[in-house]
Structure 1
Amino acid sequence: MSTPTALLEVEDLRTTFHTPRGDVRAVDGVSFALAAGETLGLVGESGSGKSVLGRTVMGLVASGGTTTVSGTVRLGGRSVHELRPSARRRLWGPEVAMVFQDPMTSLNPVKRVGTHLTETLRRHLRCSRAEATERAVDLLRQVGIPEPARRLRQYPHELSGGMRQRVVIATALACDPRLLIADEPTTALDVTVQKQILDLLGSLVAERGMAMLLVSHDLGAVAGRTDRVQVMYAGRTVESGPTRPVFAAPAHPYTDALLASIPRLGNAPHTVLRTIEGNPPDMTRPPAGCRFAPRCGFATDTCRDALPVAAVVPGGREVACHHPLRTAVLEGAGHGR
């Protein structure tokens, strides 16, 4: 999965949580590479392992106690999980940063906005208080917050949800990271603000030449703002490739079902929305074969007994399915078999 120009290389990454009910393989053998200036969308239902993957890549989840992490994560050629904890912490900010789902819980409610920004700047860039304050004002201005100097003196609860998320983005960008992991960055925001935040992230990636891993269950948000997409189900990658071909002609039944469940503006009023029948598997006891087989209308005995291996299909894509959708494989366009 690695490439000569890859900034981030993830190979056979596995994150297992040991619980009283059994082991939960939240991330189970995921691989991908991400180059500078490229945006990769990570999509799937809640519980598919997207957020755990993002946190494991950043080094926030490490082996020890009730958790086991294996596989390789290389950032700029360095193995993240082989670094000492102190060296790993030095990566957070200048090398890799994360925009978390809920800005109200990721920001400290008893610290002013300015403190969140200046602490990061002073710790990593070793600048003076005055320099950090000046840069903090500039960062807030860059992310579109009006009256940035005044906002530095406010607490998170005094800001709207959209402005709080912009503060989180400004904090993540404070030290010019090479990789930005955006974990559901528009959660709980209204549609207008969602578009503003996604447009902001896209413009910042283009201006700074960063790589971005965009974690989302919103296929519409991913469709127009990513170069490639990786579809996850029950901890595994079921399909990956350039965003446009994957969304135009999905090769995996799960990807096709996700796209079919999106409401369409052209549908008549009261049209019944399509859903994916059944429930995701119990991750302490996953199926022996394809994990989507119990919910798949095309499943055969082979699907239920043998775990599919990812194979290359036309269009530079990979799909882990015993019976990939023929329309995608043979014709490269359309939905269905």
Structure 2
Amino acid sequence: MTTAPQPKDPAPPTGNGTPLLTATDVRTAFHTARGPVQAVDGVSLTLREGETLGIVGESGSGKSVLGRTLMGLITDGPGTTVSGSVLFDGRDVHALTPAGRRALWGTEAAMVFQDPMTSLNPVKKVGTHLSESVRLHLGLSRAQARERAVGLLRQVGIPEPSRRADQYPHELSGGMRQRVVIAMALACGPRLLIADEPTTALDVTVQKQILDLLQSLTEELRMATVLISHDLATVAGRTDRVAVMYAGRLVEYADTAAVFDRPRHPYSSALIASVPRLDLPPHTLLPAIEGSPPDLLHPPPGCRFAPRCGGATDRCVTEAPRLTGHAGDRETGAVACHHPLGADEEATV
């Protein structure tokens, strides 16, 4: 069992006690030539102002699709089916018109994507990327927008911000480009920030700088933040709660320290056990989760982790477990497992 991380101080509730973001039974399916792929299958979660939620899981577990669905970037239409509700400050994101969603993006909710080069136009200067949104949403003049752009670059820790504003994305390092993308997301002062694998392809030192920057800005601006990652170390100590996804479903949803110190789902336990530890002797083989995630075109009828779980029973193979418990319970949280682990148990995979 790994040592529990030092969690953040719990975020205080909003003034009226209502969550800023409430997702209920969210389902997102993509229609393919082989049939529908249920990428997100019945996810429910809440997020309050000033709170940070980590969403973790293997590649292909549905994390990024969930983030885009929460933002309203994926909607019900040709090729996709989206159901359930996503309420942002009481408004149903998916009931908004396209113009209403565009008004929401940037000013109230923003997203940082995995690859900054695909988020930046290579033929536009960095300052133009930043000034366009503030001129559109905040009505600033060209000079005011330029001043705002330079200030944003300075806020995210880019040296010589005036000079960098006149450069093109390819003239910046990967870490600087990611900071520019973060500055773009923060340009209009959003209340919700969804960061989807914000440190992908960055070296370890730059990863820490970016994560520290996101954490400090979240605390300074009192934003609600969703941090999506396949790396458990990314969310440890930087989030208030963790939602563990597997094959499109939430399998565990609890206080961060509880998940890392007392994981109740075998998948959560196996993920944590596979993380390298400094206290292990040299050349120690890390435990691996045998097998592969299920084909979401034809998911198994019971627990989707059952084929890879050493503790699975006949019930697990035939009956899908429901997420039971409450994410706010600091001792147990919520878990979707017929045989949840106890305080001193580790998963058998």
> Which interval holds the TM-score relative to the shorter structure?
over 0.9
Write out the 4+ residue segments of structure 1 that deviate beyond 3 Å after TM superposition. Answer: 333-337
The structure, 1 or 2, with the larger RCO (C-alpha pairs under 8 Å, 6+ apart) is 2
Q: Does 1:110 align with 2:129?
A: no
Match of 1:85 in 2: 98
Match of 2:333 in 1: 317
Q: Once the 2 structures are TM-superposed, how far is the Cα of residue 221 of structure 1 from its aligned partner?
A: 1.2
CA distance in 1, matches of 2:168, 2:59: 31
The match for 2:199 among 163, 186, 190 is 186
CA distance in 2, matches of 1:309, 1:47: 21
Q: Once the 2 structures are TM-superposed, how far is the Cα of residue 98 of structure 1 from its aligned partner?
A: 0.3
Alignment TM-score, normalising by the size of structure 1:
0.96
CA distance in 1, matches of 2:342, 2:105: 44
Instruction: Give matches, 1:92-131, under 5 Å.
Output: 92-131=105-144
Counterpart code for 1:277: E
Match of 2:169 in 1: 156
CA 1:288 to 1:5, structure 2 compared with 1: closer, same or farther past 3 Å? Answer: same
Match of 1:175 in 2: 188
1:22-45 superposed Cα distances (whole Å, 9 cap, x missing partner): 110000000000000000000000
Match of 1:5 in 2: 18
Q: How many residues align?
A: 330
My pick for the range that moved more, 267-276 or 50-59, is 267-276
Q: Once the 2 structures are TM-superposed, how far is the Cα of residue 91 of structure 1 from its aligned partner?
A: 0.3
Match of 2:6 in 1: none
Q: Is the 8 A contact 1:249 1:335 kept in 2?
A: no
Counterpart code for 2:142: R
CA distance in 2, matches of 1:265, 1:103: 32
CA distance in 2, matches of 1:139, 1:5: 30
Counterpart code for 2:342: R
CA distance in 1, matches of 2:177, 2:118: 10
Instruction: Give matches, 1:1-337, under 5 Å.
Output: 4-312=17-325, 315-327=331-343, 335-336=346-347
Counterpart code for 1:255: S
1:174-205 superposed Cα distances (whole Å, 9 cap, x missing partner): 00000000000000000010000000000001
CA distance in 2, matches of 1:118, 1:273: 48
Q: Once the 2 structures are TM-superposed, how far is the Cα of residue 4 of structure 1 from its aligned partner?
A: 3.3
CA distance in 2, matches of 1:19, 1:113: 37
CA distance in 1, matches of 2:324, 2:309: 19
CA distance in 2, matches of 1:161, 1:258: 28
CA distance in 1, matches of 2:65, 2:136: 27
Q: Is the 8 A contact 1:248 1:334 kept in 2?
A: no
Can you give the 5+ residue segments of structure 1 that lack an aligned partner in the other structure? 328-332
CA distance in 1, matches of 2:221, 2:63: 25
Identity of aligned residues (%): 68
Q: Once the 2 structures are TM-superposed, how far is the Cα of residue 269 of structure 1 from its aligned partner?
A: 2.0
CA distance in 1, matches of 2:334, 2:95: 29
CA distance in 2, matches of 1:265, 1:21: 45
CA distance in 2, matches of 1:326, 1:176: 43
Q: Once the 2 structures are TM-superposed, how far is the Cα of residue 59 of structure 1 from its aligned partner?
A: 0.6
Q: Is the 8 A contact 2:52 2:226 kept in 1?
A: yes
CA distance in 2, matches of 1:171, 1:231: 28
Alignment TM-score, normalising by the size of structure 2:
0.93
Q: Once the 2 structures are TM-superposed, how far is the Cα of residue 51 of structure 1 from its aligned partner?
A: 0.2
